[in-house]
Amino acid sequence: MPFTGFIAVISLTPSGTFTEAMGLSLLIVTTSPGGSLSNWIASLFNADLTLSVTMTSINTLLSSFLLPINLLLYTHLSYGVAGGESGSNVINNLEWGGLFISIGVVVSGILAGLAASYKFGSPKFHRRSNKFGSAMGTILCTYSLMISSGSDSAWYAQSWQFYVGMTLPPALGLGLANVIGCILKLESPERVTISIECSIQNVAIAATASLNMFDDQIDRDQALAVAIAYGIISMFLAVCYSFVSWKVGWTKAPADENFCVILTKTYEVDDDMEKQHASESTGGDECFDHLEENLTTADK
């Protein structure tokens, strides 16, 4: 993902459609870890939610040191090599405090969720948590769509080149992850989950950084426009991909089930319960067969 963001920045910057504030914001987005939005989409469409949360958790923990490394590298390649004094100003605008605070909030949420799952590990708690998380995800998406500065730099008032640049990184991440998953012969729900994870980043980190890095209101609005537009476009692509995956039978939800039903029902918890029940039933049958064999031997 960092490389796809770098390609988008160097492709659009010479045309004048991408300001330095926009380019820096896009690099922050693409070097950020996956966000909770990917968990929400995986949950809604019944992909492998456990794998999704695991990937987000590991990715977020690793980002505490990989994010600054990738961000410094690609910012230097994009602006520092030939940017002269202007490029140095872009690099100096990096606000590490805001970035690490955002990462800390995400990590805290993940750890709290893991602790709650460990302490209240019943299927009933999992179902309620799943519904609560889906509701909060809906509220988060609605709130993000409503955010707007109302200026000419708003996310909905950009040129078509801007939206091409916002579409390129998540589209490439989604497509490449799906192809690699097919080559590795992963299970379909796992392949869907990995593809979603590789297309959605934590735009909250870039949004927070945008508010802290720039003093000029126009630069701040432009940087924030990138975070919002990227979040909307990547979510749209992931939802479309997840819908198609469900209809072709790649998720855990039946392809012929009602759409509203699969959005509100978690098949992953049900599958786990069925497997556990089957395991217990198998164990009981084996004990019964063993007991019957012993009784037959005793009669003989």
Q: What is the pLDDT of residue 63?
A: 74
User: Lowest-confidence range among 8-12, 57-61, 93-97, 166-170?
Assistant: 93-97
Which residues fall within 8 angstroms of residue 43, CB to CB, at 6 or more apart? 49, 52, 130, 133, 134, 137, 266
Check if the beta carbon of residue 126 is closer than 8 Å to that of residue 117: yes
* The pLDDT of residue 264 is above 80: no
Beta-carbon count within 10 A of 247 CB: 12
> Per residue in 212-252, pLDDT tens?
677 777 777 788 888 888 888 988 999 999 999 988 888 88
> Per residue in 42-86, pLDDT tens?
888 888 888 888 887 787 777 777 877 887 788 778 776 544 444
Averaged pLDDT of the chain: 74
Q: What is the pLDDT of residue 240?
A: 92
pTM of the predicted model over 0.75: no
Cα separation, 286 vs 20, whole angstroms: 68
> Per residue in 131-144, pLDDT tens?
676 676 566 656 65
Structure tokens at 284: 């009981």
More confident site: 40 or 84: 40
Structure tokens at 84: 């002269």
> Per residue in 143-162, pLDDT tens?
655 654 455 567 777 788 88
User: Would you state the torsion angle of the CA atoms of residues 162, 26, 152, 17, taken in this order, to the nearest 10 degrees?
Assistant: -40
* The pLDDT of residue 3 is above 70: yes
